[in-house]
Amino acid sequence: MSTTIETTVVPEPQVDLGIADDGFFEVEVAEIRPEADGVLSLHLAHPAGKPLPDWAPGSHIDVLLPNGLLRQYSLCSEAGAGRWRLGVLREAAGRGGSAYVHDDLRPGARIKVREPRNNFTLKPAPEYLFLAGGIGITPILPMLAAAQESGIPWRLVYMGRSRSSMAFLSELERFGDKVQVHADDEAGLFPLKDLLQAPDAGFHTYVCGPGPLLDFISSLTSAWDDQKRFHFERFVADPAATAPAAGDHEFTVETTEGIEVQVPVGTSILDALAGAGVPVLNSCREGICGTCETTVVSGEIDHRDSLLSEEEREAGETMMICVSRCKGLRMILDL
């Protein structure tokens, strides 16, 4: 049985996709399919028929919709097909991105996207436990295929309000009893506490779903001896990330080019730098996409993103400058 898994390297594109300076290029909506109540899949292809770049499980892309909204969606088809597939949930409380996709986007439309980025990498492990809530199945789906192919033991618990709201169920049938589908309207809430109170030694858990589910699972796993075994991806920012916190203070950021800016309370490093003529590529501005990740040369980081692992936070090598701040009075960034 092989225990090798290749997940981290996203190869450079082999073809000229017409990528602009801001990283965007155009793709065509080749197909739109209903996948469940309130969930569509978008199938994207290059307008000239060129193969879209390969990607690894856990990757997402920035999508610039024709109505000007910028959104991040996980890639949820198996890698290497030359096309991409996204799953989009209609979010009643959303800001218009998912409503536009559901109501206005049609096959043949052109949208702008950036190349895949991966903040939710499937790392080698002796065993995997995947937990998906609702649309959180999208980044997990290609992970299952990768785990299956590698021969590493795994299981999935896929939770949702009802089966009719849960996308891609038919694609999971091939995995047999490795997949447990749990619909709340049939059996109440899934007993996560029982599942996670005595974790098997060595297994790694990958979780994606709504914020409250992630918060609950995070509280159940906070006592695990090894936090590196717990991996999660948020679709929605932690509200604490973007709100000013008690104790926030003004500090100075210096770039390696020698530009110095003051970052007042209530202003992000990203905005302070932009105001000083140092624009940094960004997307979500909420600490969930990783686009603004910046290398830190010196200074103590006050991490407020929803991306970096505990290990990465401790290493202190990079930060998301759209939300994270400086604990001290000065820091130097590699810009």
Choice from 204, 285, 303, 325 touching ligand FES (CB under 6 A):
285
CB 307 to ligand FES: min, Å? 7
Q: Among residues 89, 167, 196, 284, which is the contact residue for ligand FES, using CB under 6 A?
A: 284
Per-residue interface string for the shown chain with ligand FES, residues 286-315, x marking contact by CB under 6 A: -xxxxxx------------x----------
Nearer to ligand FES, 116 or 199 (CB): 116
SS3 for the chain, per residue? Answer: CCCCCCCCCCCCCCCCCCCCCCCEEEEEEEEEEEEECCEEEEEEECCCCCCCCCCCCCEEEEEECCCCCEEEEEECCCCCCCCEEEEEECCCCCCCHHHHHHHCCCCCCEEEEECCEECCCCCCCCEEEEEEEHHHHHHHHHHHHHHHHHCCCEEEEEEECCHHHCCCHHHHHHHHHHEEEEEHHHHCCCCHHHHHCCCCCCEEEEEEECHHHHHHHHHHHCCCCCHHHEEEEECCCCHHHHCCCCCCCCEEEEECCCCEEEECCCCCHHHHHHHCCCCCCCCCCCCCCCCCEEEEEECCEECCCCCCCHHHHHHCCEEECCCCEECCCEEEECC
Site map (CB under 6 A) of ligand FES, residues 65-104, x = contact:
----------------------------------------
Q: Is 116 in the site for ligand FES (CB under 6 A)?
A: no
For residues 10 and 109, which CB has a smaller minimum distance to ligand FES in the complex?
10
Q: Which is nearer to ligand FES, 182 or 285 (CB)?
A: 285
Kindly tell me which of 163 and 313 has the beta carbon lying closer to ligand FES: 313
The residue among 35 and 233 lying less far from ligand FES, judged by its C-beta, is 233
Among 320, 326, 333, 335, binds ligand FES (CB under 6 A): 320
* Residues binding ligand FES (CB under 6 A): 282-285, 287-292, 305, 320, 322
